Structure 1
Amino acid sequence: MASFQLPQLQQDGDHWGPPTSSSSVLPSDFQQIPFAPFSKSDKIGRIADWNASSGSDARAGYGDDRSAQALGARAGLRQGRGRDAQQSFGASGANAFAYFHGDDEASFSVVDNTRTVTSRRGGLSGMARGGRGAGRGGAAASSRGSARAGALGATRGGRGGRGGASARGGRRFGWKDWDKPQRTREASVTVGPEWQQLEEIDFSRLGKLRLEVDEPQEISTYGTLYEYDKSYDRISTRAEKPLQPIDRIRYNPTTSEDPVIQEIAAKNDAQIFMTDSILALLMCATRSVYPWDIILTRTADGKVFLDKRDGGAFDFITVNENAADPPMETPELKEGERVDAASRANQINTPAALSLEATYVNQNFAFQAVNEKKAHKLEKENPFYSPEETEPLASCGYRYRRFNLSSDEEDPVELVVRTEVDAVISSPSGPQFITIKSLNEFDSRAQGAGGAPEWRTKLDSQRGAVVATEMKNNSFKLARFAIQSILAGADNMKLGYISRVNPRDASKHVILGTSWYKPKELAAQMALNLSNGWGIVRTIADLARKAPEGKYVLIKDPNKATIRFYSVPASFDEEVDEDDGEEENDEEE
């Protein structure tokens, strides 16, 4: 009866494969066969090269060099999978099997007798229109126009024609984006060693929160409002108006320094207190990119106050924060280094400089677009203005409103917010409250412009395209504008489009146009979910309410879509103010 007996395998704990000793299980006829790794994509001309030198060099992959050979093969496999890899697995080790033309093949050639089209029009236009390498004119163009046609093809159609890498719309989105250096932003406040992290929430979890909130109850109103000047509705790019710096006083104290909120907290049973700027930021937190921080203070009686830091993110307006390529910081100049015109232009287009410019523009546009001869006084006078002040007040009204954030009757949660309106407009039904905001253009050709069209040529004819680009590049800023207007109960929002007189000068601006928006309609256009915003606010409020008495800080991570909740010492805000004062004194010295 036929039988088969398995050969005996010798163990070799140091290497893979058969052992290299003289008593190898391999037959002697196969011990000198050359070996090299290869992949399916390699071209193999010969299965084996019997003329190769015998010995240890011919046995690559065996013996003591097997581990190094295996590592090299794995490295080659990883390299072949890369995007720009030029060699595949085994290409470097298969030189013994490389294909070479024989002597008889070297003398062989093919004669092409087909007639080529020599028309200049067909060759050039076909190549330029962007066919696959040779355009619509066929497989090849005339030799006379091939170089020029290739240049035209690369300009208009690129290597893939109209839909190629260099198509008419510019470079392909995402091309070489993976090769850009990662931007590392610094946190808005330094986390101290004694801080204790209590919670960490990423934006994906915040985006799933929902809470329906009814219309608010108005507690009281303060301040004086001027009527909006309707002559600004007629401004266009052909009838522009310069932006004038106007000195007016407008107060924006934090929550704990507001005497009205302190009075309401003493008499009312509400638990949460904040301003509209803090509330709008929390409701739009998932759209933010730049870092920010909020100070939370829980008192012994269970009340929570949310405050801002002086000079923090709430006092300034960002520019192109949500753009695919936002403005970038420039390297600091060395001592004695000269500044050329290009470097000076880049210095005014950094995120900090643009934020300061946008804040200046937004305030002065609100001051300028009102008629101070027509005033409308609210219930009470401005609570922050003292008789000792000599400068005139700006048009501003404060409306203190109460929102019910309760999800059930057993756990009532009420929120008191100080909201602001900027002006009034007269109507048959009575005065209507409005907010006045602005968008600013710095330089459509500069880095960080976000692909925005030039306003002087597109604002009148293609305003929809301008607004759509601003909604994409400034999603967080416009969402805050819309929510602040909704919280204040404003009937309309006036939006101004302001640009620099000279792109290289950030001190002079001009108003190019204005638009009216209903706050709720603008929020709907931006896909802004108010119930999600209220869910975020209620979640943050519950974190502070459940924590013991003390001070806490909510921080947006500067480089991740995450917020963190920290417990900090009671002297945190005072220490930050002292550090800022010391830095200012050092600069003055």
Structure 2
Amino acid sequence: MCASRSTYPWDLVITKRGDVLVFDKRTNSSLDFLTNGETAPDPLPEEKDNINGLQQLSMEATSVNQAFREQVLLGEGERQPLQEACPADLGPQGGGYKYCKWQLGGAAVVVRCAVDAAVRLGDSTQLVAVHALNEFDPKWSGVDWRQKLENQRGAVLATELKNNANKIAKWTAAALVTGIDQIKLGYVTRALPRDNRNHLILGTQAVKPRDFAMQMNLNMDNCWGIISGLVNLCQEQLEHDGKYLLVRDPNKPQLRLYAIPAEELHYAGEAAAAADKEAEDKDED
């Protein structure tokens, strides 16, 4: 839905079975990780060992987001039941999933949507999505959260909307599709500028998805138009059943569609997993 805002490469696996199209991510896909500074005017360094580089910041943003969610959610207490049971091994413990269906022209679209939490306000229950924004270098962003967050939160959020337009737009679009009533944002910074393992929560903010979308000029009609166009393209171009790979070009704002044998796709996922395991073993040594 927010493909036009992305600048980093990504890919999706498309499986065609008759008239059915299934969109999913690869094993160890870049979509498993959040980005930080993706849409900033100044590009981030790409050195793997640089804690302020693209890859290290992505892993940090992902771990911070997960840790923040685990800290703010109650481990015990009343649970809000959803209509469907949570599929096995999907997402962090405590999260829920909804299955939503829409009609786009002649195609029916079914989406699995995640819900992080629920809060009771009076007699009503609101569904909540929980996300964290993290600061890594005030000099790079030009806004010091420790000094500005309390009195100039709007300036901090505006900077994040500029530097992380794609990530925040995806959160907001997902909330609108799911029927989330509010997004709980956490502002997290490093305890020390050169330490990417220890962090502090400076504050939180609750926003309504629809108001947030207006603030960032996110038009859901355009988002659904992207989905509709992609579905129509696949229906026209994919003649045979099998697996295909949709790739966002790393150098151009362009999507490419490839037909790939299933065994090669499976091998690519295993190879990536093996490479990650080898890197972890080296770090432990």
Q: TM-score, normalised by structure 2?
A: 0.91
- The answer as to whether partners of 1:287 and 1:476 remain within 8 angstroms in 2 is yes
Superimposed CA distance per residue, residues 221-247 of structure 1 (whole angstroms, 9 cap, x where no aligned partner): xxxxxxxxxxxxxxxxxxxxxxxxxxx
Aligned to 1:568: 260
Note closer, same or farther for the CA distance 1:395–1:578 as it changes in structure 2 (3 Å cut): closer
How far did residue 423 of structure 1 move? Answer: 0.7
Q: Distance in 2 between matches of 1:478 and 1:374?
A: 30
Task: Identify the residue that residue 352 of structure 1 maps to in structure 2.
Answer: 55
Kindly state the Cα deviation for residue 570 of structure 1 after the two structures are TM-superposed. 3.0
How is 1:169-248 mapped onto 2 (pairs within 5 angstroms)? none
The structure whose residues are more often helix, as a share, is 2
2:199 is the alignment partner of 1:509? yes
Structure 1 distance, partners of 2:70, 2:184, is 13
Q: What per-residue deviation string (whole Å, max 9, x for no partner) do you get for residues 31-69 of structure 1? A: xxxxxxxxxxxxxxxxxxxxxxxxxxxxxxxxxxxxxxx
Q: How many residues align structurally?
A: 277
Alpha-carbon distance between aligned partners in 1 of 2:277 and 2:123, rounded to the nearest angstrom: 55
3-state SS in 1 of match to 2:124: coil
Q: Counterpart in 1 of 2:65? A: 362
d(CA) in 1 for partners of 2:246, 2:107: 20
Contact 1:421 1:490 in 2 (8 A): yes
Match of 1:382 among 65, 83, 86: 86
CA separation in 2, counterparts of 1:578 and 1:428?
50
How far apart in 2 are the matches of 1:452 and 1:293?
32
Q: What is the rounded CA distance, in whole Å, between the counterparts of 2:181 and 2:278 in structure 1?
A: 48
Judged with a 3 Å threshold, the aligned counterparts in structure 2 of structure 1 residues 504 and 530 are, in CA distance, closer, same or farther, namely same
Query: How far, CA to CA, are the matches of 2:217 and 2:276 in structure 1?
Result: 43
Amino acid at match of 2:35: T
What is the DSSP-based 3-state SS (H/G/I as helix, E as strand, rest coil) of the residue aligned with 1:523? helix
Match of 2:158 in 1: 468
Match for residue 479 of structure 1 among 154, 166, 169: 169
Cα deviation 1:176-215 (Å, max 9, x = unaligned): xxxxxxxxxxxxxxxxxxxxxxxxxxxxxxxxxxxxxxxx
Cα offset, 1:459, TM superposition: 0.6
Task: Quote how far apart the aligned CAs of 1:535 are.
Answer: 1.0
Contact map agreement 2:104 2:228 (CA 8 A) in 1: yes
In structure 2, distance between residues paired with 1:294 and 1:505: 33
Q: Call closer, same or farther: CA 1:427–1:290 in 2, change over 3 Å.
A: same
Q: What do the CA deviations read for 1:427-486 (whole angstroms, capped 9, x no partner)?
A: 2232110100110001112xxx3x330000011111111111111111001101101111
Matched AA of 2:176: I
Take 2:89 and 2:57, find their aligned partners in 1: how far apart are those partners? 30
Letter in 1 for 2:72: A
* Structure number with higher strand proportion: 2
Query: Which has the higher relative contact order, 1 or 2, with Cα contacts under 8 A spaced 6 or more apart?
Result: 2
Match of 1:327 among 44, 47, 68: 44
CA gap of 1:578–1:325, structure 2 versus 1, over 3 A, is same
Q: Distance in 2 between matches of 1:532 and 1:357?
A: 31
Which residue of the other structure, out of 92, 101, 110, is the alignment partner of 1:416?
A: 110
Change beyond 3 A, Cα 1:385–1:578: closer
Matching residue of 2:131: 437
Match of 1:23 in 2: none
Change beyond 3 A, Cα 1:534–1:380: closer
**1:306 maps onto 2:23 in alignment:** yes
**Whole-Å Cα distance in 2 between the matches of residues 354 and 585 of structure 1?**
19
For residues 573 and 348 of structure 1, the distance between their equivalents in structure 2, rounded to whole angstroms, comes to 31
CA distance in 2, matches of 1:578, 1:464: 44
Check 1:586–1:489 CA distance in 2 against 1; reply closer, same or farther (3 A cut).
closer
Distance 1:498 1:581, change over 3 A: closer
Residues 452 and 470, structure 1, Cα contact 8 Å, conserved in 2: no
Aligned letter for 1:289? Answer: T
Aligned equivalents of 2:14, 2:76: Cα separation in 1: 41
Of all paired residues, the percent bearing the same amino acid is 39
Structure 1 unaligned spans of 5+: 1-282, 333-345, 387-392, 407-411
Report how far residue 585 of structure 1 moved: 7.0
What secondary structure, in the 3-state scheme, does the structure 1 residue paired with 2:218 have? coil
Q: Are 1:298 and 1:545, in contact at CA under 8 Å, matched by a contact in 2?
A: no
Which is greater in Rg? 1
| Helix, strand or coil at the partner of 2:76 | strand
Alignment of 1:523-542 (within 5 A): 523-542=213-232
Q: Does 1:552 align with 2:244?
A: yes
Q: Provide the C-alpha distance between the structure 1 equivalents of 2:33 and 2:201, rounded to a whole number of angstroms.
A: 20
Kindly provide the CA deviation profile for residues 308-362 of structure 1, in whole angstroms up to 9, marking residues without a partner as x.
01221211000010001021123x7xxxxxxxxxxxxx72111110010000010
Alignment partners' CA distance in 1, 2:121 and 2:277: 52
Matched, 1:400 2:115: no
**Is there any run of 5+ residues in structure 2 with no aligned partner, and where?**
none
Shift of 1:382: 2.8
Distance 2:35 2:275 in 1: 24
Cα RMSD between the aligned structures? 2.0
